[in-house]
Chain A
Amino acid sequence: MPLSILIWLPAACGVLGAIFALRDKRALGVFALLGSVAALALAISYIVGYSPGTRGLTHVTDVVWISELGIHYKLGIDGLNVMLIGLTTLLFAMATLAANLREWDRPRLFFFHFMLAESAVLGAFLAQDLALFVAFFDLMLIPFYFMTGMWGRGPREERVRATIKLVIYTLVGSLLMLAAAIATGVLASQQNDVPLTFVLSNLQTLPLSRGSQEWIFLFFAAAFLVKMPAFPLHGWMPDGYRTMPIEVLMVFSGVLSKVGAYGFLRIALPLYPQAAAHFQTLMLLIALASILYGSMVAFTQTDARLIAGYSSIAQMGFITLGIFALNSQGAQGALLQMVNHGLVVAPLLFIVALLSRRAGGSEDVREMGGIAFRAPVLAALFLIVALATLAMPGSANFVGEFLILLGVFNAKLAIAIIAFAGVVMASVYALRLFIRAMHNRPGKNVESRDIGLLDRVVLVPVVAVILFFAVYPQLALRRGEDSVKAAVAPAQAALRGPTFAAALGRFETGPVTGTGNGEAAGARP
């Protein structure tokens, strides 16, 4: 079945829902739910059908889109994205279900945006053409601007302020990325004297000069790091997290942040390997700063959402760390961790919503406490999610972290050792959140009651998936392995020095813009 069906099915359901559900507003959400569940079923069939030994892309769709510019509408599945589309569809199905449990103002518009977002995210993961990726990347942000601005929490001014921040940050990133994408195509065709093309597999065979690679890489990195977010580019995060409706935030935090990390593996490392090697230390330091800073702030926050938010900065820091270990262990761990982080942060945010309903509407942990009292099932589910969040051994998150840190250990020992501080700190903020919400004496307005049936339907499947991966992470690992190796191989070679790169059929064309310190990574024998 063509991948376009998977991509456009949710958006189509959003449109159909808006058209057909004129009278009964309930039916609207049901349409969206059907679309997202159907997409999930498709994604599962792709995961099951993906045989681990596969080299290159499968299920390829490749049609010329804009022939003058060499832009193709090319989609495909390989080990890098097969688990991520599973994650995307699962979290969107979960969030759509959650969104169905409450009333929305202007529901047709809301569900349309929501479904459009799913389509765009799936497109970004499946795109195999640089221009198409950029298009989907920008398309996926637009519904979130609207959903934050129109359906967000709090007074209008705050919503607008949060939306503006979000727009500015991501727009700056998007524009940089757009420029970088265009430059990649143009320069690749110029430097190699071939017609303009944006298809990723073609671009990989058209090496850029090192000088071009470096600034293009930085543009992409800026866009991806803003999206993740990473310190110090996370300025939009606190307001954005506070404002977004929790159902929207679940997918935003669970899925969209992964597009940035995925972009590194899909685009930045294969296309700009020398630049990736060159900036390895810089990227590792940004990752390290994100881990330490995010963790440290997370354990002083009292807003439960922001604890989740800052913990995400730290977790995404680990993912970046793994990617820029520039070896297969780190990248393999990072890829697994993208799935894992999505799987825990979405239920965590949903639980925050459940908690606030039991604490008189407040999301401040100081107002919570003792909620476990009459809610054993909720407490058990929360505990599983909290322990997975702090990457306790026995969870798939630990396997991811183990591989990431092993990769960094092999690449840069000192950074690995410092990063372990983040592992300890994660246990502090995650348990602190759990204890302050569930244990101790109850807060003023706390009314403990167990999780209701419908909320269980939202939460239990995801927790079941967490538990499944805890006992069998190999399912994800073996699907990713070959593609991950291929993705990091060029950068790994560049890291080992020019002779290796030459052996891989790459050569330096343009002028080397080395400014002394720039020589370190690329020119090391």
Chain B
Amino acid sequence: MSATTYGWLVLLFPLLGMLTIAFGYKAFPGRTAGWIGTGAIFLAFLAALGALLEIQSLSPAHRQVTSSLWNYANTVGVNAQLSILVDPLSVFMILIVSGVSTLIHLYSISYMDKDKGFNRYFAYLNFFVFSMLLLVLAGNFLLLIVGWAFVGAASYLLISFWYRRTTATKAGIKAFVINVVGDVGLVLGTYFIFKHTHTLDFLQTFHVAGQVFTHNEADLVAGCILLLVGAFAKSAQIPLHTWLPDAMEGPTPVSALIHAATMVTAGVYLIARMHVLFELAPIAQDVGAVVGAVTLFVAGTIGLVQTDIKRVIAYSTMSQIGYMIMGVSVGAYAAGLFHLMTHAFFKALLFMAAGSIIGAMGGEQSLNRMGGFRKAMPFTFGCFIIGGLALSGIPPFSGFFSKDEILLVTGELGGWHWALYVMGYIGAFLTAVYTFRMIFRAFYGDPVPEAQELEAGHLHHPEHPTNPATGEIEDTDVGFPGPTHAIAERALPMKVAMCILAVGSVGLGLLQIPNVDFVIDDFLRPSFAGSAVYETHTKDGLLAFGLLLGTVLGLAGIALAWRVWVARVGGRLSPAKLQARWHAVYELLAHKWWFDELIDGLIVRPMATAGRFAAGTFERAVVEGGLIDGTVSVVRAGSAAVRAVQSGLVRYYAAALVLGVAAIGFYFLLQS
């Protein structure tokens, strides 16, 4: 079979999985739907492997193949077909997406076991994977936008999966609307590019881009910046990031899949896919790089003070994607995508481990109430440590190689890019601190009652389930979390999934070691053929310095976290003292730099006020009052006279119609 046939199969399996589960939702007993869903995604992964083998068997110059099924919207100059593009970049993405998704499906089988929405959950999850695969396989702008929006919709559905929780539905609509803002950016950006290229097809666009666009042409810069708006919304970059922390309302495996491993990296993919355009518009590249750098820093600082374990990881995700966005914006495509891959593994692992500890806490997510789980949950603890070390960039874990390569390329550019380089390393230090703060707070210290209960061999379940965010009492029927919780120590599927991810988190970094091997570089090269910046020339001095600096900063961060949250030497470095001393900074971080309030005050409130004014005052006073009541009273007065002669509405209207026609006819008779 050809590579594109495998490409279509990659899309087909998740779609079939979703339809099977959706239509048979009543028929499947127990965990059947979970296995069907997992199987569908695993088949997609196998098909992705097939595509990999096929594409590698082609000569490097011919590794971009397209295939289309039928005309989607082919009219009045628009040429959108249902077409896919299979090339090393998209194969790279589908492998990651389907691979990690398979593991997360597997994990979910246990994690969501007794949830009353089990079947619905797997239908949504399969739909999400289908959407994400569509996004990365799309062969033209229109289909990309379709995948882009489907992913947003799937994310919405899963964020508000427990739909009787008001907090979840609020988070869902917020995520959806911000994603629509991103869609709008994408559509408008497409217009600016289409205006000159007259095609929506990717390969044709890239082919003619060099001829129709001049360097930094206004329309192209506008188009690329608008594409970036799309990327920022989906990848939770400032200022369109506020939905991501709230999205943690969804079930934890969803956070692992969508809000860490796959969907949020779509922006990175987009910039890499559009690199031909971005390289012609360096201004847009600079915008992307700066926003990425700012995001990685800001998110890192917020991560320091969050108390919800999932939100800590969420801000960490934002921060790491900041690295990737910065990387692909400065031309470090392979490095950015490499980090995307390693991040998918260790971040999914961290979320799964967090899910396990949340299970042990009976649904509670606050770090303030956790502690001392080290003995009770050795496996989860081990996973946390592996994920944490990879995230903090400690050699030889995977994050070490990928993150440092991004910063290396950035540094090599010189000039003001050194500022980004410095930001990146500050971020690396912050990463180590907040990651190990979280680990130390959850696993060290005196065991909390839940941990003691677990050590005694019993998994804690709260007497009355409550919403961890608000404390509202809940039941365990559809629309709320199910009655049981699962921990990795006691559920084989969870354990298997986490083991595989842990192995990847440790070993995947070895795929590409600077100046040693270049598996990722070599594999992706055909997708970036013709790109001037793809071939990086590594300076050994900078390389060694960067690797060393990264290691030192990571270890220093861990040491600081140890000192503050474990060693508790008292005095100046206790958390309470630090909070008191840096009160203003703490407030800023605890309020997440006031972004929510800013957006609320600038956009949401004015819109709501305007809407209420329009509905309440304007509609009543002007439209109904002035225009209608005026007319109605005039007609009433007239009709009173008519009614005296002939009562009844109908006859009056008939008469009016006839009279009117007569009058107008008369007028024209006079005119002619």
Cross-chain contact B624 with A235 (CB below 8 angstroms) = yes
Report how far A332 CA is from B80 CA in the complex, Å.
15
Is B576 an interface residue when CB atoms closer than 8 A count as contact? no
Residues of B within 8 Å of A398, CB to CB, are 145-146, 149
Chain A residues 107 to 165 lying within 8 A of chain B, measured CB to CB, are: 138, 145-146, 149, 160-161, 163-165
Cross-chain contact A474 with B71 (CB below 8 angstroms) = yes
Chain A residues 386 to 401 lying within 8 A of chain B, measured CB to CB, are: 387, 390, 392-394, 398-399
In the complex with contacts A171-B657, A417-B188, A441-B164, A393-B183 CB distance below 8 A: yes
Is A182 an interface residue when CB atoms closer than 8 A count as contact? yes
Is B611 an interface residue when CB atoms closer than 8 A count as contact? yes
In the complex with contacts A417-B188, A435-B173, A329-B77 CB distance below 8 A: yes
Cross-chain contact B479 with A370 (CB below 8 angstroms) = yes
Cross-chain contact B163 with A439 (CB below 8 angstroms) = yes
Residues of B within 8 Å of A78, CB to CB, are none
Residues of B within 8 Å of A428, CB to CB, are 173, 177
Report how far A182 CA is from B607 CA in the complex, Å.
45
Report how far A399 CA is from B149 CA in the complex, Å.
13
Report how far A171 CA is from B624 CA in the complex, Å.
17
Report how far A432 CA is from B160 CA in the complex, Å.
13
18 further contact pairs, Cβ within 8 A, besides A183-B668, A474-B71 = A161-B632, A164-B649, A175-B664, A178-B660, A178-B661, A186-B668, A297-B611, A300-B614, A372-B479, A373-B477, A373-B478, A399-B142, A409-B188, A423-B187, A427-B177, A428-B173, A440-B166, A481-B76
Least Cβ distance of B380 to chain A in Å? Answer: 32
Closest A residue by C-beta to B25: A376
Q: Per-residue CB proximity of A474-493 to B under 8 Å, as 1/0?
A: 10011011001100000000
Cross-chain contact A485 with B76 (CB below 8 angstroms) = yes
Is A406 an interface residue when CB atoms closer than 8 A count as contact? yes
**Most chain B CB inside 10 Å of its own CB: which residue of A175, A296, A416, A481:** A296
Residues of B within 8 Å of A420, CB to CB, are 184, 187-188
Cross-chain contact B149 with A393 (CB below 8 angstroms) = yes
Is B211 an interface residue when CB atoms closer than 8 A count as contact? no
Cross-chain contact B76 with A328 (CB below 8 angstroms) = yes
Partner of B653, one of A167, A179, A299, A471: A167
In the complex with contacts A145-B653, A393-B183, A481-B76, A232-B153 CB distance below 8 A: no
Report how far A164 CA is from B615 CA in the complex, Å.
22
Is A238 an interface residue when CB atoms closer than 8 A count as contact? yes
**Most chain B CB inside 10 Å of its own CB: which residue of A149, A160, A420:** A420
Cross-chain contact A164 with B184 (CB below 8 angstroms) = no
In the complex with contacts A373-B164, A423-B184, A392-B149 CB distance below 8 A: yes
Partner of B72, one of A168, A431, A474: A474
Chain A residues 404 to 435 lying within 8 A of chain B, measured CB to CB, are: 405-406, 409-410, 416-417, 420, 423-425, 427-428, 431-432, 435
Least Cβ distance of A235 to chain B in Å? Answer: 4
Is A205 an interface residue when CB atoms closer than 8 A count as contact? no
Report how far A422 CA is from B615 CA in the complex, Å.
17
Is A201 an interface residue when CB atoms closer than 8 A count as contact? no
Report how far A171 CA is from B661 CA in the complex, Å.
11
How many residues on chain B are close to A (CB under 8 Å)?
Answer: 72
Least Cβ distance of B381 to chain A in Å? Answer: 37
Is A402 an interface residue when CB atoms closer than 8 A count as contact? yes
10 A-B pairs in the complex with CB atoms less than 8 angstroms apart: A168-B628, A179-B667, A297-B614, A392-B150, A393-B142, A399-B72, A423-B184, A440-B166, A478-B75, A485-B76
Residues of A within 8 Å of B650, CB to CB, are 145-146
Cross-chain contact A431 with B77 (CB below 8 angstroms) = no
Q: Per-residue CB proximity of B615-632 to A under 8 Å, as 1/0?
A: 110010011100110011
Is B612 an interface residue when CB atoms closer than 8 A count as contact? yes
**Most chain A CB inside 10 Å of its own CB: which residue of B25, B664, B671:** B664
Closest A residue by C-beta to B659: A175
In the complex with contacts A301-B615, A372-B479, A439-B169, A423-B72 CB distance below 8 A: no
Is B665 an interface residue when CB atoms closer than 8 A count as contact? yes
In the complex with contacts A149-B649, A427-B180, A477-B148 CB distance below 8 A: no
Cross-chain contact A440 with B164 (CB below 8 angstroms) = yes
Least Cβ distance of B199 to chain A in Å? Answer: 13
Cross-chain contact A472 with B169 (CB below 8 angstroms) = no
Least Cβ distance of B217 to chain A in Å? Answer: 16
Closest A residue by C-beta to B472: A441
Residues of A within 8 Å of B150, CB to CB, are 392-394
Is A380 an interface residue when CB atoms closer than 8 A count as contact? yes
Partner of A329, one of B76, B608, B672: B76
Residues of A within 8 Å of B607, CB to CB, are 296, 425
Cross-chain contact B631 with A405 (CB below 8 angstroms) = no
Cross-chain contact A477 with B75 (CB below 8 angstroms) = yes
Least Cβ distance of A263 to chain B in Å? Answer: 19
What is the total of A-B residue contacts with beta carbons within 8 Å? Answer: 192
Cross-chain contact B672 with A190 (CB below 8 angstroms) = yes
Residues of B within 8 Å of A236, CB to CB, are 628
How many residues on chain A are close to B (CB under 8 Å)?
Answer: 78
Closest A residue by C-beta to B168: A439
Report how far A174 CA is from B658 CA in the complex, Å.
12
Residues of A within 8 Å of B610, CB to CB, are 296
Cross-chain contact A179 with B664 (CB below 8 angstroms) = yes
Least Cβ distance of B643 to chain A in Å? Answer: 13
Residues of B within 8 Å of A495, CB to CB, are none
Least Cβ distance of A312 to chain B in Å? Answer: 15
Residues of A within 8 Å of B172, CB to CB, are 435
Cross-chain contact A410 with B653 (CB below 8 angstroms) = no
Report how far A146 CA is from B654 CA in the complex, Å.
12
Is A31 an interface residue when CB atoms closer than 8 A count as contact? no
Cross-chain contact B632 with A165 (CB below 8 angstroms) = yes
Is B567 an interface residue when CB atoms closer than 8 A count as contact? no
Least Cβ distance of A185 to chain B in Å? Answer: 10
Report how far A349 CA is from B628 CA in the complex, Å.
25
Partner of B76, one of A332, A376, A473: A332
In the complex with contacts A164-B632, A417-B188, A423-B180, A474-B661 CB distance below 8 A: no
Partner of B612, one of A300, A423, A439: A300
Cross-chain contact A232 with B622 (CB below 8 angstroms) = yes
Residues of B within 8 Å of A33, CB to CB, are none
Cross-chain contact B177 with A424 (CB below 8 angstroms) = yes
Closest B residue by C-beta to A407: B76
Report how far A362 CA is from B635 CA in the complex, Å.
33
Is A234 an interface residue when CB atoms closer than 8 A count as contact? yes
Q: Per-residue CB proximity of A443-477 to B under 8 Å, as 1/0?
A: 00000000000000000000000000001111001
Cross-chain contact B664 with A178 (CB below 8 angstroms) = yes
Residues of B within 8 Å of A473, CB to CB, are 72-73
Q: Per-residue CB proximity of B586-627 to A under 8 Å, as 1/0?
A: 000000000000000000000110111011100100111001
Residues of B within 8 Å of A480, CB to CB, are 75
Partner of B631, one of A168, A186, A190, A399: A168
In the complex with contacts A329-B78, A376-B120, A440-B163 CB distance below 8 A: yes
**Most chain A CB inside 10 Å of its own CB: which residue of B73, B150, B180, B183:** B73
Report how far A104 CA is from B120 CA in the complex, Å.
39
Residues of B within 8 Å of A390, CB to CB, are 180
Is B194 an interface residue when CB atoms closer than 8 A count as contact? yes
Residues of B within 8 Å of A435, CB to CB, are 160, 163, 169, 172-173
Report how far A415 CA is from B399 CA in the complex, Å.
46
Q: Per-residue CB proximity of B103-143 to A under 8 Å, as 1/0?
A: 00000000000000000100000000000000000000010
Cross-chain contact B173 with A393 (CB below 8 angstroms) = no
Residues of B within 8 Å of A145, CB to CB, are 650, 653
Least Cβ distance of A43 to chain B in Å? Answer: 22
Residues of B within 8 Å of A234, CB to CB, are 623
Cross-chain contact B181 with A424 (CB below 8 angstroms) = yes
Report how far A438 CA is from B78 CA in the complex, Å.
38
Is B22 an interface residue when CB atoms closer than 8 A count as contact? yes
Least Cβ distance of B187 to chain A in Å? Answer: 7
Cross-chain contact B166 with A441 (CB below 8 angstroms) = yes
Residues of B within 8 Å of A46, CB to CB, are none
Closest A residue by C-beta to B188: A420
Is B202 an interface residue when CB atoms closer than 8 A count as contact? no
Is B70 an interface residue when CB atoms closer than 8 A count as contact? yes
